[in-house]
Structures are given as structure tokens and as C-alpha cells.
Chains A and B, each alone.
Chain A
């Protein structure tokens, strides 16, 4: 009967989705929490992402990067949420500025020592980053996505991903150096 074959097709879709999406669940939740700063908001964001992704899974092009696809859904869902709208209202204007991070003098002990900061210091520093810089660090360093996939998630050219990663690490380094100076 036609409805039976439709059900089987739907089951197959669900199985395929489950296989691809569930391993990414902890990562999606982690990024969602970083962006929303709240457990209920992170849960809502992830749940809505899974809902949208499952509903739109038929449109996912097999052979393309599923991780980039579902993270783009997460990000777009965040951008249209209450917290996302509020956070992104503070536009990060540096993008338009011509200069990248100021040249770092690598010969100073401070610039070398900063990478030895402990986990709590790094987390506090990450908390101060604007969302546009934080999200690129999360995708690049924590999720270990390639620049071309980050470009898909953020819907920006790959050149902008490159400069944004550099700017984000520069900003993180400056926050850590300031924190160290204040402690001394």
C-alpha cells in the first residue's frame, strides 16, 4: 500500500538523520551554550535546530558536509532568537577596518607566556569576545572545522574566515595579556 512505502521511506530518512546528527549533539549543545550563556536557552536552541534539521533533511545534499549544514541551521536559529538578536545588535565593526591585529612582538616573554594560561583564564577571556569572534574560534579550534566549512556555516567568504580567525586569536591573546598584567 502507498502509505506503507511512505512510512518506510520516512523511517529510512529518520535513521539516516539519526546516524549523522546524534554524534554532533554534544558539540551543538556546547556551542549553543557558549552563544546563549544559559542552559534553558541552549536547550531550546539545540532542540529547535534538531527539529528544523530533521524537517529539512530531505533537502540536505548527500555527499556535502552535514556538520557544516547543521551548524549553519544552529547559527541561523540563534541569530533569529531573542538572545541572538540582542547579541548581534552589538555589531562588530572591526571587519571593515583595514588593519588586522597589530603586529605582535613575539620576542617578549609576555607574548610567549600567554599561551600557557590555565583553562579558567582562557574561558574567562573567551567569555569577553564579541559573538562574531567567539563563534569563529569555537568552529575552528573546538570543532576543528576547515575554513571552507566555516565559510558555509557563517555564510561569509573564505578570506573573511581567515582574517576573522586571526583577529579572534589576536583579541583572545590581548585579553589574556591584560589579565596577566593586572595580576602582576
Chain B
């Protein structure tokens, strides 16, 4: 694996300041490096938090009016003319509203960019967790094909509840489950076997990250959200089989 992305590069990526070649190289690295992916996600979220927290102070209407007058070069507005004063106030108000609208539009573009990065980072993270879980020799934390064993095992470990499907698609069995953490949140990882392939279904508290890419690092990724949690299914099984399992899982909720 290549060297990790340094802080300058990581921040330039999050700020959308990399050239297309640099961006491609960084994306390739992120696809295989969970640590830098976490770094990119954390930096993107910190940037968003700073953007929101940073818009802190709003000028008073009186000051807005004063500046609007100054900008028009109207240093002398007759105080005896209420119509002129009213007009100036109305203009200042319109300008302030227009400015707020334009600021909101700018932020929307930035939010879109950060949201795309966040969704890609989430897909990479779950693929990485899926591979890591399957690569270890140690058994799952709960090894059982019995849904009445697996589901109760999560009681008290997750801030939400979920159902396991009564009937699974043909050739699909439940193998076990792990409790893992995604971005600091307790997450259920349910492992199914579909013929010779394994599928991980991650269940984490509902978030507004949005739908991640349908494919990451050669793995299929499917997602759906209920009122209480977000589910992400990951596997190298064919898309039809993964769709079928995701469908029955979603219908069970």
C-alpha cells in the first residue's frame, strides 16, 4: 500500500482543490486505505461543522440600512423625508434577504460536494469492515443460523431494534453476527451466506448521509433506511442475489 495521504493533501481533497489527476490518485488510495478514508470523512465533516458554526454574526437592520445608503453614495438622506427613509429600509431588507439567499445557494453546492465524498467514504468503510470480518480466522461474536438467537444477542447493545426475515431467498443462510462500530456508532453486522459468497448487512442508527455508490472496490453495496436505522448490505455476490436478500430484509422491518 502506498504512503498515507498527508494532511495538506487530505485537506485540499476535502476543499475540492485537487486537480483531476491528483483527485483520481487520492480516490484510488482511499479505496484501499480505511485509515485515510476515515480521515477524509472526519475532515469533510469538520469542514461542514466549521461552515455551519462559522456563520455566527448577523448585522442589525439599522447597520444594514446605513451600509446600503453608503454604498449608493447617498451620504445625505433627508431625515424629514419618511418616504425616502422607508425606501432605504425596504432596499436594505431586500438586499439582506438576497444576500442570505445567495449565501444559502453557495452552501448548497459545497454541501453537495461534501455529501458525495461522505457517501463514498461510507461505502469504502463498510466494504473494508466486510473484508476484515471475513479475513479473520476467529468466529463471529455470535455464531448461529437461528434468528431467535442472533436478534436477542443485540439487546442493550444497539440504540434501536430490528427484525430478521422469517424466510430467506433460496440458497441463503444466516451464519452469525458481530457488534462493530462505524464512525463511533454501535453497528450490527449480520453475516449471511449466499451459496459460496458472504453478505454483510450493517445496521446503524439512522443518518442523513444518503445513498452510497452501488459499487465500491468491486463489491456491490445496497442501502435502505427505516424510521430508526440505516442498513447497508455489502457483498461480491451477484447483484440479483444481493437485491433479493436486501428486499426480504427490508420487508421484515
Residues of A within 8 A of B (CB): 10-11, 14, 17-18, 21-27, 29-30, 33-34, 42-43, 46-47, 50-51, 54, 100-101, 103-107, 109, 111-117, 119, 122-123, 126, 137-138, 140-142, 144, 146-147, 162-163, 165-167, 169-170, 172-173
Contact = CB atoms under 8 A, between A and B. Distances in A.
Contacts, number: 167
B50 A141 contact: yes
Given A18-B72, A112-B42, A144 B51 contact: yes
Given A22-B98, A100-B8, 4 more contacts: A23-B102, A50-B67, A106-B35, A162-B8
Given A104-B39, A106-B38, A107-B35, A33 B57 contact: yes
23 contacts: A14-B73, A25-B99, A26-B58, A26-B99, A34-B57, A46-B59, A47-B70, A104-B7, A106-B35, A106-B38, A106-B42, A107-B34, A107-B35, A111-B38, A115-B43, A115-B49, A123-B56, A144-B107, A162-B11, A163-B8, A165-B8, A165-B12, A173-B46
Interface string B57-82: 11100011011101111000000000
Contacts of B51: 141-142, 144
Contact of B71 (A22, A101, A115): A22
A138 B47 contact: no
B6 interface: yes
Given A18-B71, A50-B70, A106-B35, A111 B17 contact: no
B183 interface: yes
Contacts of A33: 56-57
Contacts of B64: 25
B67 A46 contact: yes
A122 B53 contact: yes
Nearest to A10: B73
Contact of B99 (A24, A34, A54, A100): A24
The residue in B35, B67, B107, B110 that gathers the most chain A C-beta atoms within 10 A of its C-beta is B67
B13 to A, nearest CB: 11
A25 B38 CA distance: 37
Nearest to A100: B7
